Amino acid sequence: MIQSQINYIQSSADKNCKIAVRSCLPETEAKAIMVILHGATLPSIIFDLPVCEGNSMLSYMAENGIAAYTLDYRGYGLSSKPLAMDDPLMGGKPLINHVDATVDVLDVLKFINQRHGKKEVIFCGFSWGSTIAGHIAATTNLAAKLILLGPVYSYQNTQWAELADPNNVTKLNPSIKSYRIVSRERWCGLWDRELKTHNALKWRDLAVLENLLVNIENSDSAWASQNARSGCIRIPTGVLSDALRVYNKNPIYDASKITCPTLVIRGEQDSASVSIDVSGLFNSLTCPKERMDITNATHYGILEKESRRFFKAISKFAVSLT
């Protein structure tokens, strides 16, 4: 397995923040460059865990000739926390929405260009990361190809109504703080529920789960120790403003504006990236497009025993001549 490395680059938006960039590079000249974007809760470590015959998503891409990069947005994972996240009262506006995350991605693109020269880049966005990747592809010419992995786009989801201001459903509830504190039990709550619903706990390797939990816990362990919050991490809440839009049929980006070849891929048992929403997204795309629904896989299929099918489809699409 090709080993990954971590670099820290300066954020252009916050002088107090460094952005953690994971990369895994092929041993020969890369056929393609891919930037993989994480979702709302779990940081980029999910792409750097060995799950598929010893390979992580990053190393699988590298072994198939793709220079694979991922990052933690500010406030997530190994990247610096904005100073506002040190406020125990969680005051201020919700931190890090898709606009802020896009700035971080553009910073990473500069780092990639310094390494490889200015070359075409494939964006792969997972879950909330799909809205960031889609936003970049729809509003810039930076994406050579686009992969929307377990995407969310635009559909009415009343389960998220509590996000809204009771006096104005288009606005975020003013009670939402700048960040949230999330326990170990909550990090993978959706994943647990999906597996139990389908009587499919066997789809997940317990060793992968524990490795994931330990890595995430360690990413904010100093704060947890100082504040007697063992097993907890801090996560920005800006994503909730994006979720409010998505779940009120007000998409973050216009899929019809995307011109690059696009792969839409999800697990059939994914209850976050629901089929009706993905169908709406796919039908809105006017570019060359493909869709795949992987059987026996949840929202976190890339961490499950069917992960190879995701990796194979993504790498094949990335290096194809379409």
Give the pair of three-digit tokens for residue 66: 């793709």
Task: Count Cβ atoms within 10 A of the Cβ of residue 135 and give its class: 0-12 exposed, 13-18 middle, 19 or more buried.
Answer: buried
Model pLDDT, residue 322: 55
Q: Which domain holds residue 231?
A: 5-319
- The amino acid that residue 237 corresponds to is T
- Side-chain half-sphere of 303: how many Cα atoms within 13 Å? 28
Mean pLDDT of residues grouped by 10 in the chain (322 residues)? 95 98 96 97 97 93 98 98 97 96 98 94 98 98 98 90 86 94 87 93 94 96 95 96 94 98 98 96 98 97 97 97 65
Model pLDDT, residue 52: 83
DSSP for residue 276: H
Indicate the SS3 state at residue 289.
strand
Indicate the SS3 state at residue 133.
helix
The domain total for the chain is 1
Distance CA 275, CA 260 (A): 22
Distance CA 50, CA 2 (A): 11
DSSP for residue 156: B
Q: What angle do CA 231, 235, 239 make, to 5 degrees?
A: 145
* CA 137 to chain CA centroid, nearest Å: 15
Question: How does DSSP assign 3-61, residue by residue?
Answer: PPEEEEEE-SS-TT-EEEEEEE--SS--SEEEEEE--SSS-GGGGSS--BTTB-HHHHH
Q: In 3D, which of 295, 304, 299 has the Cα closest to residue 130? A: 299
pTM above 0.95, yes or no: yes
Model pLDDT, residue 103: 98
Distance CA 117, CA 23 (A): 16
pLDDT digits (tens, 9 = 90+) for 62-119: 999 999 999 999 999 999 999 999 999 999 999 999 999 999 999 999 999 999 998 9
Distance CA 211, CA 303 (A): 11
CATH code, 246: 3.40.50.1820
Distance CA 218, CA 210 (A): 12
Is 57 in contact with 45 (CB distance < 8 Å)? no
Distance CA 9, CA 278 (A): 34
Model pLDDT, residue 53: 85
Task: Count Cβ atoms within 10 A of the Cβ of residue 53 and give its class: 0-12 exposed, 13-18 middle, 19 or more buried.
Answer: exposed
Distance CA 96, CA 74 (A): 7
Helical residues (DSSP H) of 92-183, grouped into ranges: 98-116, 128-139
Distance CA 47, CA 70 (A): 8
Query: What is the phi/psi pair of residue 187, to 5°?
Result: -55, -45
